[in-house]
Amino acid sequence: MNFGIDTGFYPLGSCTMKFNPKFTEELAALPTVTRIHPDQDESTVQGALRVLYELQDLLARIAGMDAVTLQPAAGAQGEYTGLLLAQAYHRERGEERHQVIIPDTAHGTNPASAGMLGFDLIEIPSKDGRVDLKALEAAAGPKTLALMLTNPNTLGIFEEHVLDIAQIVHDAGGLLYYDGANFNAILGRTSPGKMNFDIVHFNLHKTFTTPHGGGGPGAGPVGVKKPLEPFLPVPVIGLNGRGYHLDYDRPKSIGKVRAWYGNFALLVRAYAYILRMGGDGLKEVSDRAVLNANYIRHRLAGVLDVPFGGLRKHEFVASAAKLAAERGVRTVDLAKRLMDFGYHPPTVYFPHLVEEALMVEPTETETKETLDGFVEALKKIVKEDPDTLHSAPHNTAVARVDEVQAAREPILSWRTLKSPKPPS
Amino acid sequence: MPSDEDEMLREMGLRSVDDLFADIPSAVRIPKLDIPDGLPEDQVVARVTSMLRANRTVVDMPTFLGGGLYDHFVPASVRAVVSRSEFYTSYTPYQPEISQGLLQALWEYQSLICELTGMDAANTSMYDGSTALGEAARMAHRIHGGRIFLVPRGLRHNRRAVLANYILGAGLEVREVDYDRESGMLDLAKLKTAMSPDVCGVYVENPNFFGRFEEQLEEIRDMTTGVLVVGVNPIAQAVVRPPGDFGADIVVGEGQPLGTQMNFGGPLLGIFACRQQHIRKMPGRVIGLTRDAKGHRAFCMTLQTREQHIRREKAMSNICTNESLLAVAAAAYMAVLGSNGLRRVAAENIRRAKELAAAIDKIAGFEAPLFPGAHFNEFVVRRKKGYAAVHRALLEKGIHGGLPLTRQLPELSDAALFATTGRHTPEAVGRLLAALEAFR
């Protein structure tokens, strides 16, 4: 009744659905993790603080940053935190900047985080699936707070001109924010720091494979370059002669975004995963993730179009537009039919600039056999009778679910269902 | 035999995987990651386990901390449910046809939270109780339009700090309403003074930060012209009238007591519930009941036009990844205990707090509870001669006392918030009392 990574192939683009190691589950279940209270005296939680301290350091090194906070609960909260840090940085310089620049391929959380903070959003159109430098030059200026970018972008394309992008934003006095959702593509090859980003969030539930838990919990630590360090949320985990401690004495801090220190049980898992993989293993992670994505793309040539040329990194976006025009079969039909073959469908209808989009991210933990099976299934599906596809899925616990009806008359609880009045 | 990699590369006409990274300019390349190489699994397990052994758990050391998180017993069946890899290795149920298990579990969580709180709708979670409060303030502003949000001054400082960051950008101002120094409950006269047409919402906790039940919800409702937001402890809800009965519009809370361990403060479960008329202004993911193409009952995510992936900068919240697995744990916990079991746990926590407070109060020099009346889990202990030295001495004896209130409220710098649950053994309580006796 429920499909997880352990059930089968889950190429959900942008979500990095890779194998969740079992040994990290065992570690996270230790009483020394589960049965400690966050208000305990520092002297009684030295083990926990050490894990946090060392994880801060490992993440900073991996990303080429100078300091890390582990507090944010998820990527979106990392973005929120990062934008607050950027604002604090500019204010320290006596500048009120309120424009956030975002490419049209950005994840929805980027504009939503900026919107929540009341910043003005400037969306710049892409050119050939990449940031249009001319459009960026026109958008950047004295009001630019930051550019939010993920590299590789959501099309899976590496922004080759990333240093020019950084130059334009920095020349305007703005900061560069790295959305770490696609970090799985570049481990050991480059880093956000090397690409001149100032702020980065990590999705530990993606790159560092803490389980997605049906939509959460995750963890979204934020790394920054030196000039932004004073503004990090309190407490920062420090080390002095007496041991590890919670440092609240940070007068320029933005304060808190979570009640305590972050999703500790997830942080323990990510820490153990990083120790297990190491620098050499993490590079292999990205190598294989990129190989797998490019391999599927290669094998799908002639089956589905993949707009925009060049290499892909860990994911690619195909389009069913031609199929829709010629045979009336849409992306949603392909996605639903894939379930009958035992696959979780790719991310669909995102990013918006690709018509009838299917965003495929296989991750590194899948074998060639699995990838070949997926390709063969798609090859078969696109030739099937349109009626079979429109009425798919056929082999699942329930048939196609009426999502329109659910939204028209929302029934969110037994209480509403049983209530004599029809819901408004 | 050629490896998978070799075969894939050959099929693509490539010589090395490096060819796939040709688009990364040399100026941004790094030679390698600046961290040690990987270790075998057994070595990692040994190393991390040994590192964590430096922690003193609440089992090693009788611990009387609460303040938002509590050490309740978690039945093995709850762990068994959330350890099902169909749940924990899945992601957001974007494809309902292969996610009915998770969708139903989350819908049942929503339903159970609604039963506890008297609300019509609940989302599938916020990050924790503090961000749920932050989101509630923003939602109160969306509903009412006023720009002032009132909160009790007797509010845990970490909640207050997170709230301060969550209202940014919404044009909101938070003002504090003091508590009554005798009762520990909200000072109604001060609430009356603070009330104005520009107040979009009032937040009140039951039980409050001091563990004291807030018995004035009806009066507070009558005085509130904006949105009433009530913060709850979900277990306590089993034995009190639900906030829905008192006219609450939004209910928030920390859901950790429902089947999740303390985990050094995370992950946690932000409870968020509201009335049906407000659901389109609610943040976060929600699951709805519907039908499939054959007319069978089915569940799916709904009202997604409020969310970031559709509405982008106009979304109700930026939240995407949430705390779903903890919501499943909460649903399992409530289902395993049932309403009788939940009431038993609640009653036991009231009784335990009462007994511990009475025992501490008997020791000369200590006053407990500082605020008279019914408490849940925790209560304020005052020692006129000062609490800091007691705290240190307890630690030296391998006992962790309550949360010192110095950093929370200056007028309570000689006090601490002591918490107890059904898990404290008589021996643990005995050790605490004996240690406190030394200070009489």
Q: Which domain holds residue B389?
A: 338-437
Q: Is residue B255 part of a domain?
A: yes
Q: Which of B333, B349, B377 represents a domain boundary (last residue)?
A: B333
pLDDT class of B312 with cuts at 50, 70, 90: confident
Q: Tokens representing A178?
A: 């790295």
Contact A216 B128 (CB under 8 A): no
The angle at the Cα of B215, spanning B68 to B128, to the nearest 5 degrees, equals 20
pLDDT class of A422 with cuts at 50, 70, 90: low
Contact A216 B305 (CB under 8 A): no
Cα-trace Rg, chain B: 25
Determine the Cα–Cα distance for residues A345 and A359; give it in Å rounded to an integer.
9
What's the ipTM?
A: 0.97
Determine the Cα–Cα distance for residues A395 and A209; give it in Å rounded to an integer.
30
pLDDT class of B39 with cuts at 50, 70, 90: very high
Mean pLDDT, range A11-39, rounded to an integer: 97
In 3-state terms, what secondary structure has residue A175?
strand
Helix (H) or strand (E) holding A200: strand A199-202
**pLDDT given at position A255:** 98
Q: Tokens representing B416?
A: 């601490």
Residue A142's beta-bridge partner residues? none
Residue A32 is nearest to which of B11, B53, B395, comparing CB atoms? B53
Q: Is residue B142 part of a domain?
A: yes
Query: Do B306 and B423 share a domain, yes or no?
Result: no
Parallel, antiparallel or unpaired: strands B286-291 and B148-152: unpaired
Q: What are phi and psi of B428, to 5 degrees?
A: -65, -45
Residue B302 is nearest to which of A6, A79, A407, comparing CB atoms? A407
Contact B320 A416 (CB under 8 A): no
Which chain A residue has the Cα nearest residue B278? A424
Candidate from A64-78, B225-239, B303-317 with smallest mean pLDDT: B303-317
E strand spans, A126-196: 126-127, 130-131, 144-149, 175-180
Query: Do B154 and B293 share a domain, yes or no?
Result: yes
For residue A256, which of B159, B299, B419 has the smallest C-alpha distance? B159
Give per-residue pLDDT as tens, B152-203: 999 999 999 999 999 999 999 999 999 999 999 999 999 999 999 999 999 9
Residue type, B370: L
Query: Do B375 and B411 share a domain, yes or no?
Result: yes
Query: Do B342 and B251 share a domain, yes or no?
Result: no
Residue A121's beta-bridge partner residues? A100
Residue B377, chain A, CB below 8 Å: the answer is no
Residue A294 is nearest to which of B20, B303, B326, comparing CB atoms? B20
Determine the Cα–Cα distance for residues B353 and B376; give it in Å rounded to an integer.
6
Residue B395, chain A, CB below 8 Å: the answer is yes
Give whole-number Cα distances, A166 to A103, A140, A175, A198, in Å. 14, 11, 8, 10
> Are the beta carbons of A355 and A321 closer than 8 angstroms?
yes
**pLDDT given at position B381:** 98
Mean pLDDT, range A118-136, rounded to an integer: 96
Architecture of domain A279-395: Alpha-Beta Complex (3.90)
Contact A47 B52 (CB under 8 A): yes
Give per-residue pLDDT as tens, A266-314: 999 999 999 999 999 999 999 999 999 999 999 999 999 999 989 999 9
Helix (H) or strand (E) holding B366: strand B366-367
Q: Which residue has the tokens 């390709």?
A: A375
Domain boundaries, chain A: 22-278, 279-395
Query: Do B276 and B370 share a domain, yes or no?
Result: no
Provide the mean pLDDT of chain A: 96
> Are the beta carbons of B104 and B92 closer than 8 angstroms?
no
Query: Do B115 and B206 share a domain, yes or no?
Result: yes
Cα-trace Rg, chain A: 23
Query: Do B235 and B358 share a domain, yes or no?
Result: no
Contact A37 B71 (CB under 8 A): yes
- Looking up residue B386, the CATH number of its domain turns out to be 3.90.1150.10
Q: Tokens representing B283?
A: 């943040």
Determine the Cα–Cα distance for residues B152 and B186; give it in Å rounded to an integer.
7
DSSP assignment letter at B104: H
| Burial classification of residue A420, based on how many CB atoms lie within 10 Å of its CB (0-12 exposed, 13-18 middle, 19 or more buried) | exposed
Share of chain A above pLDDT 70, in %: 99
Q: Is residue B85 part of a domain?
A: yes
Residue type, B294: K
E strand spans, A262-421: 316-319, 347-348, 357-360
Determine the Cα–Cα distance for residues B154 and A272; give it in Å rounded to an integer.
39
C-alpha of B153 from chain center: 19
Residue A121 is nearest to which of B98, B114, B313, comparing CB atoms? B313
Q: Tokens representing B217?
A: 């919800």
Residue A103, chain B, CB below 8 Å: the answer is no
Per CB-CB distance under 8 Å, the chain A contacts of B276 are 416, 423-424
Mean pLDDT, range B80-105, rounded to an integer: 97
pLDDT at A1 over 90: no
Residue B122, chain A, CB below 8 Å: the answer is yes
Q: What sign for the dihedral angle of Cα B175, B276, A412, B292?
A: negative
Determine the Cα–Cα distance for residues A5 and A390; give it in Å rounded to an integer.
26
**pLDDT given at position B82:** 97
Give per-residue pLDDT as tens, A160-179: 999 999 999 999 999 999 99
> Are the beta carbons of B168 and B103 closer than 8 angstroms?
no
Determine the Cα–Cα distance for residues B89 and B103; give it in Å rounded to an integer.
14
Domain total in chain B: 2
Q: Which of B333, B359, B381 represents a domain boundary (last residue)?
A: B333
Q: What are phi and psi of A229, to 5 degrees?
A: -55, -40
Determine the Cα–Cα distance for residues A260 and A235; give it in Å rounded to an integer.
8
Give whole-number Cα distances, A399 to A337, A343, A358, B290, B401, in Å. 11, 16, 21, 12, 56
**DSSP letter string, B323-356:** -HHHHHHHHHHHHHHHHHHHHHHHHHHHHHHHHH
For residue B200, which of B119, B137, B281, B280 has the smallest C-alpha distance? B137
- Looking up residue B174, the CATH number of its domain turns out to be 3.40.640.10
DSSP assignment letter at A390: H
pLDDT at B256 over 60: yes
Determine the Cα–Cα distance for residues B83 and B376; give it in Å rounded to an integer.
30
Q: Which of B268, B301, B333 represents a domain boundary (last residue)?
A: B333
pLDDT at A318 over 70: yes
pLDDT at A406 over 60: yes
**pLDDT given at position A424:** 47
Q: Which residue has the tokens 């920095």?
A: A170
Q: Tokens representing B237?
A: 């809800």
Parallel, antiparallel or unpaired: strands B297-302 and B366-367: unpaired
> Are the beta carbons of B228 and B216 closer than 8 angstroms?
no
Q: Is residue B12 part of a domain?
A: no
Per CB-CB distance under 8 Å, the chain A contacts of B85 are 4-7, 20
Per CB-CB distance under 8 Å, the chain B contacts of A280 are 32, 37-38
Determine the Cα–Cα distance for residues A222 and A367; give it in Å rounded to an integer.
32
Q: Tokens representing B109?
A: 């969580």
The angle at the Cα of B212, spanning B207 to B217, to the nearest 5 degrees, equals 55
Provide the mean pLDDT of chain B: 97
Residue A398 is nearest to which of B40, B129, B292, comparing CB atoms? B292
Determine the Cα–Cα distance for residues A317 and A347; give it in Å rounded to an integer.
9
Residue B251's beta-bridge partner residues? B230, B273
Q: What class has domain A22-278?
A: alpha beta
pLDDT class of B313 with cuts at 50, 70, 90: confident
Residue B97 is nearest to which of A75, A367, A401, comparing CB atoms? A401
Residue A32, chain B, CB below 8 Å: the answer is yes
Query: Do B359 and B242 share a domain, yes or no?
Result: no
Query: Do B272 and B361 share a domain, yes or no?
Result: no
Q: Rounded to the nearest 10 degrees, how much is the dihedral formed by the CA atoms of B305, B308, B309, B312? A: 90
Q: Which residue has the tokens 């943040």?
A: B283
Residue B124, chain A, CB below 8 Å: the answer is yes
Determine the Cα–Cα distance for residues A90 and B97; give it in Å rounded to an integer.
48
In 3-state terms, what secondary structure has residue A174?
coil
C-alpha of A55 from chain center: 19
Mean pLDDT, range B147-151, rounded to an integer: 98
**pLDDT given at position A421:** 64
Contact A256 B309 (CB under 8 A): no
> Are the beta carbons of B93 and B86 closer than 8 angstroms?
no
Query: Do B239 and B363 share a domain, yes or no?
Result: no
For residue A395, which of A329, A337, A334, A331 has the smallest C-alpha distance? A337
pLDDT class of B224 with cuts at 50, 70, 90: very high
Residue B224, chain A, CB below 8 Å: the answer is no
